Chains A and B, each alone.
Chain A
Amino acid sequence: MPDSRPEKLKSEIRRSLANSALRSAVARATATTLAKRAAHVAAEPRWEAMRAAAARIKRETVAHLDRYLAQFEAAATAAGIRVHWARDAAEACHHVRALAAAHGVTEVVKSKSMVTEEIGLNAHLERHGIEVVETDLGEFIVQLAGEPPSHLTAPALHKRREDIGRLFAEKLGVAFTDDPVALTALVRERLRGRFLRAGLGITGANFALAREGALVVVENEGNALLTMNLPKRHVVVLGMERLLPSIDELPLFLDLLVVSATGQAFPGYVSVLRGPTPPDRPGPDEVHVVVVDNGRSRMLARPEYRELLHCIRCGACLNVCPVYRQIGGHAYGWVVPGPIGAALIPLVLGLERGRDLPFASTLCGACADICPVKIDLPGHLLRLRGDIAAAGLTGVAERLVVRSWAFAARHPRIYRALTALPRLLGRLPVRAWTATRDMPRPARRSFRRLWDEEERRP
């Protein structure tokens, strides 16, 4: 299992690059999703208008988050949902554990949720003797392997079918098969009893609707449907930025999320939850929502980075990122990988811990072009690079080079003299650079010289 810490980025990159199986699994999976997405986008003439509208809506919601949160709380409470507030991961975990403890629950079922990964909920519950069963197939696989998910929407994207077959044979004591149908059937059979026994179901929510006080859960497998409806109690752990003003915005956001995430027109199941089930019907008689801050209000306080809270966790920027496609998700060392992770990690965990992440980008702009809510990811990565440099967290050599260049740029004579340098580069010690790249051949005449000649021409 990789050592999941952002400080280890450089060694994890080397490790990932040496793993050709990982690279081909990630490349194949991301290419499949991108192709399906592209087909839907090509058939939707309003796509750009939809992205622009979604960006506007998220900006408005986040800019008035206090009022939307209050509105959500009031409407959810009126519908019988119990709303809890958590300043940080510890408080959020405590709420869920207290709920389980209050009902003597020792077994919970859970469907995929990035915020529960972020707060370390599984480990917390298990430390307190509560068994957590991940029910999404991909999450079940990575839980069994003792790994974190490597993608926002496809947690086991880095694993090949034979790896999964071997994992099941070893951990579940079943005969080896690498047939996805047989492997899926096995998980279905194993988990059905768990859904029926569990005293508590835990999910995240893709959206929370402020006006209605409703929660929206999107999935394909039906595991979230069972998690929410079979146990007697349901807890939703909600990142507090996940609000939309109302159900009126839901069609737009569902379209953008699902096409961007999986290249589908509509997900298999969408549940719009509006409180507990009446006592005469099967279903949860208690629904709780734990609204989690955990650093979000800090990010909100920095207008230049606030836009990062617009993210709807579709994973499209991961799929399209040339860096993610080479190194996979684990190398980033935090729950959210890819370009959005590279921007979030230094802000959430601190510049020092995340100082290498913003540099793990070619700034090609593909992430900004694909993002359904138009987050300017390259802009944020650039700004973070500036913050990291200003905090003196870049390497000595890099600082020296940049300062020398800045000096030369302010002194034209020196600058001109230095333009002759490329012809000498072959003799300079740049082997570390040229080991994996071609050094471009310098032009025989510099741009300045060409320009001067052009100027002199009659």
Chain B
Amino acid sequence: MNEARAAIFDAVRRALADTASTECSADADGPDLAGAALQPATDGVRPAAGGMAHFRAVLEELGAGFAEALSAEAAADWIAGALAAAGVKRLAVVGAPGGPALVARLGAAGIGLEPLDGLAPDACRRCLEEVPAVLTAADFALERTGTLVFTPATLPFRGAAGLPPWHIAVLPHARVVADLAALFASHPEVTRQPLLFVSGPSRTADIEKTLVLGAHGPARLDVVVVGGAA
């Protein structure tokens, strides 16, 4: 193995002998390669005042649902209503999306909650294979692209976003930012973590470019934003 490594580095260095003197951003903090022309199109963290019209429109275009709730209780009522309308009575829960009040209210509404925290890895996986829906907390959302952002703090098992047929994600209004560049600029700690970005339900267009939802992951995704501009 080391022999292969040495041979590859040797070949690469010999091949690049002509460029050795030019600047390399690997050596230091590095030059601003992208340049000023590529600053985020919008200005950082999204102000709440304008409402969620664009975020909602993008999500709906992606085939996802959207709800805005002023409180955790209102969010719980919306989720309970959606589950009831679909005849779903069981819900896996990762962490405490929207806070303990939201989860407690869902329980009080008669939803069979299956908390995943503290389960052994195999039990957690088994539960996610069986439940019809999972509730998660997203760390952030990107307004421009309708994208949810998860870190291990909120989604310790990424597979949770891919196994059940229905994914409901909750996040605070203040956590909706303009786009990915704005997120990295305003929350640099995010760039130091493993990340999962989810935009809309799982989809494919591999057969004659016909869009089909639920290719391998959830066919249904709902995003509930809690604590609006009001």
Are the C-beta atoms of B24 and A60 separated by less than 8 Å? yes
Complex Cα–Cα for A248 and B217 (A): 29
Are the C-beta atoms of A225 and B209 separated by less than 8 Å? no
Among A185, A279, A282, the one with the most B-chain Cβ atoms within 10 Å of its Cβ is: A282
Within 8 A of A (CB), among B109-163: 121-122, 124-125, 129, 142, 144-147, 156-159, 161-163
A440 on interface, CB distance cutoff 8 Å: no
Are the C-beta atoms of B202 and A281 separated by less than 8 Å? no
Contacts A184-B212, A221-B204, A274-B194: A265 and B58 contacting too (C-beta < 8 A)? yes
Looking at B70-78, B176-184, B222-230, the stretch in contact with chain A turns out to be: B176-184
Complex Cα–Cα for A215 and B99 (A): 32
A196 on interface, CB distance cutoff 8 Å: yes
Within 8 A of A (CB), among B210-228: 210, 212, 214-218
Are the C-beta atoms of A57 and B33 separated by less than 8 Å? yes
Within 8 A of B (CB), among A271-302: 271-275, 277, 279-283, 291, 293, 297-298, 300-301
Complex Cα–Cα for A210 and B33 (A): 14
A179: min CB distance to chain B, Å: 9
Among B163, B179, B218, the one with the most A-chain Cβ atoms within 10 Å of its Cβ is: B163
B82 on interface, CB distance cutoff 8 Å: no
Are the C-beta atoms of B184 and A248 separated by less than 8 Å? yes
Contact of A266 among B41, B145, B184 (CB under 8 A): B145
Contact of A265 among B9, B19, B145, B218 (CB under 8 A): B145
A154 on interface, CB distance cutoff 8 Å: yes
Contacts A33-B209, A251-B184: A220 and B158 contacting too (C-beta < 8 A)? no
B193 on interface, CB distance cutoff 8 Å: yes
B41: min CB distance to chain A, Å: 7
Contact of B5 among A85, A137, A230 (CB under 8 A): A85
Contact of B162 among A25, A212, A222, A254 (CB under 8 A): A222
What 12 new A-B contacts, CB under 8 Å, besides A191-B216, A247-B191, A301-B14? A53-B34, A69-B9, A180-B210, A184-B204, A220-B205, A221-B204, A222-B202, A229-B159, A246-B25, A250-B180, A270-B196, A274-B193
* Ranked 8 nearest A-B pairs via Cβ: A222-B217, A266-B145, A301-B15, A297-B11, A221-B215, A138-B206, A222-B202, A300-B15
A-B contact pairs, 6 of them (CB 8 A): A161-B210, A180-B208, A196-B125, A212-B191, A225-B216, A300-B11
